[in-house]
């Protein structure tokens, strides 16, 4: 029936002479970093057709340079005095949450719709900061993050493109569970990403995929913010980790591991995980496994800096067990990243935004440079490598023909002063201007 309708509509268009119009855009870019790491060019025109990049041409072309049909529209955007580069990718956020003194209470007070709307508020802040794509690695509120992702894709809500992992996969009592509530309350705030044993872990991964998770995240080790004195060592057993990774891969999903101590990092890497979040206490075996497997390290330096700042503040709202871990983990992240960078390990951008405030994500670039990356290398972590970490290099990460028209512009050259990325003046996502 659908095929018949399409034929009828096509026939009516031919008879009546009606044609479907296309929307073109031309961006005049003064300085263009089309592919971070390659030569920056001057006086370029980015040609956009609907939501994708059609071409990049030298010089400032005008509307009449395009071969367009009657009824097509063309918008010319003047960024001649700007530095233009691809939209940024943050590979580790929690968009429906925010760490502060009210965080524990908010988990009890907010309904799932409240949580989704809070996420929508954060989504707009992230998009305005130049982050056109994010990977959410643990969403609160049941299906809230999936609803937000889908609403953004449909154009109902303004925000970055979201790749959502759904619930964090955790063992009972592990870092992925919310600890510190009495049992009756715990049943309300805790969700179904918990598994124990190989078969149960396979089931939970499959359940996340059924819930439409784009990727899978599990906790290989304890975490800083867990209000329990369990440390930051390995929490899942090796066979459970292997079951999680194998099941995710069999269902076409990339899988990442939250991991601080070397035992959990190494177990996850041996199991074939695609990336490691944090990687704080990586040892020589860890570094060798990163080199062997090609897995990405997402260092989340901003999260480390943030928990250290809170822990040393007189207004710290951390439990004593959290304070102790924060003071150990925060400073170690930069040291580990410096070593990993020197070894040539693949690094992708991720802030663990929610630990830090949404919208200040670009501070991570400055921390990456402090750890030894050049400004251009830091930019590549959130563009070229950020797209590869997601498995989306064919769609994202550079300004090239066939890719989504995700484009930002700055007043200053970020390759000379990385702090320029904290002041994004222009944001386009999929050919639509959201900030100018």
pLDDT value for 325: 73
Helix residue ranges, H only, 295-347: 301-311, 320-342
pLDDT value for 14: 41
Residue 233 and residue 120 share a domain: yes
Contact 402, 51 (CB under 8 A): no
pLDDT value for 227: 54
Reduce the secondary structure of 43-72 to three states and give it as a string.
Answer: EEEEEEECCEEEEEEECCCCHHHCCCCCCC
pLDDT value for 10: 40
pLDDT value for 105: 77
For 5-25, the DSSP string reads HHHHHHHHHHHHT-----EEE
User: Is residue 336 classed as helix, strand or coil in its secondary structure?
Assistant: helix
Residue 381 and residue 263 share a domain: yes
pLDDT value for 308: 87
Residue 3 in domain: no
CA–CA gap between residue 169 and residue 179 (Å, rounded): 15
CATH code of the domain covering residue 279: 3.20.20.140
pLDDT value for 95: 96
Residue 50 in domain: yes
Cβ of 2: how many Cβ atoms within 10 Å? 6
User: Is residue 134 classed as helix, strand or coil in its secondary structure?
Assistant: strand
Taking 50 as the pLDDT cut, the residues of the chain under it are 1-17
Residue 128 and residue 26 share a domain: no
Q: Whats the size of the chain, residue-wise? A: 436
**0.85 cut: is pTM over it?**
yes
Contact 433, 427 (CB under 8 A): yes
Residue 295 in domain: yes
Residue 108 in domain: yes
User: Is residue 392 classed as helix, strand or coil in its secondary structure?
Assistant: coil
CATH code of the domain covering residue 65: 2.30.40.10
pLDDT value for 1: 42
Residue 401: exposure state from Cβ atoms within 10 A (0-12, 13-18, ≥19)? exposed
Q: How many domains does the chain have?
A: 2
Residue 272 and residue 143 share a domain: yes
CA–CA gap between residue 382 and residue 89 (Å, rounded): 5
Contact 264, 237 (CB under 8 A): no
Range of the domain at 37: 19-86+401-435
Residue 161 and residue 72 share a domain: no
Residue 421 and residue 316 share a domain: no
pLDDT value for 225: 66
Residue 183 and residue 82 share a domain: no
| Cα atoms in the 13 Å half-sphere on the side-chain side of 257 | 33
| Cα atoms in the 13 Å half-sphere on the side-chain side of 319 | 12
CA–CA gap between residue 37 and residue 415 (Å, rounded): 10
Q: Which two tokens stand for residue 184?
A: 């009756």
Contact 215, 135 (CB under 8 A): yes
Longest dimension (CA), the chain: 76
Residue 395 in domain: no
Residue 8 in domain: no
pLDDT value for 106: 78
Residue 164 and residue 249 share a domain: yes
């Amino acid at each position: 029936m659908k095929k018949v309708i399409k034929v009828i509509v096509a026939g009516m268009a031919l008879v009546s002479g009606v044609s479907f119009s296309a929307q073109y855009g031309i961006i005049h870019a003064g300085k263009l970093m089309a592919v971070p790491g390659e030569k920056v060019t001057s006086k370029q025109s980015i040609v956009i057709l609907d939501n994708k990049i059609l071409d990049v041409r030298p010089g400032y072309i005008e509307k009449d340079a395009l071969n367009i049909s009657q009824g097509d529209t063309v918008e010319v955007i003047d960024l001649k005095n700007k530095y233009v580069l691809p939209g940024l990718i943050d590979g580790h956020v929690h968009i429906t949450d925010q760490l502060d003194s009210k965080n524990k209470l908010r988990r009890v007070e907010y309904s799932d719709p409240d949580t989704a709307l809070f996420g929508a508020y954060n989504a707009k802040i992230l998009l305005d900061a130049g982050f056109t794509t994010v990977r959410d690695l643990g969403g609160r509120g049941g299906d809230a993050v999936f609803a937000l992702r889908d609403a953004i894709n449909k154009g109902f809500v303004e925000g970055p493109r979201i790749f959502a992992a759904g619930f964090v996969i955790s063992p009972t009592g592990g870092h992925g569970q919310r600890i510190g509530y009495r049992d009756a309350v715990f049943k309300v705030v805790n969700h179904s990403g918990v598994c124990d044993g190989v078969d149960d872990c396979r089931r939970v991964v499959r359940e996340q995929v059924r819930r439409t998770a784009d990727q899978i995240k599990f906790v290989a080790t304890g975490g800083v913010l867990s209000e329990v004195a369990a440390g930051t060592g390995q929490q899942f057993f090796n066979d459970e980790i292997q079951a999680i990774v194998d099941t995710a891969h069999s269902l076409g999903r990339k899988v990442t591991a939250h991991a601080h101590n070397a035992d959990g990092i190494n177990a996850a890497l041996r199991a074939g995980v695609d990336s490691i979040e944090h990687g704080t206490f990586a040892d020589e075996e860890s570094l060798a496994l990163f080199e062997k497997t090609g897995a990405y390290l997402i260092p989340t330096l901003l999260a480390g800096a943030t928990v250290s700042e809170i822990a040393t503040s007189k207004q710290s709202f951390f439990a004593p067990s959290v304070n102790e871990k924060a003071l150990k983990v925060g400073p170690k992240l930069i040291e580990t990243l410096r070593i990993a960078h020197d070894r040539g390990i693949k690094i992708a951008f991720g802030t663990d935004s929610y630990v830090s405030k949404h919208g200040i994500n670009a501070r991570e670039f400055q921390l990456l440079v402090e750890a030894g990356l050049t400004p251009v290398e830091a930019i590549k972590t959130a563009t070229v490598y950020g797209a590869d970490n997601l498995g989306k290099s064919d769609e994202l990460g550079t300004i090239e023909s066939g890719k989504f028209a995700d484009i930002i512009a700055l007043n200053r050259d970020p390759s000379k002063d990385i702090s320029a990325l904290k002041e994004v003046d222009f944001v386009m996502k999929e050919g639509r201007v959201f900030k100018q």
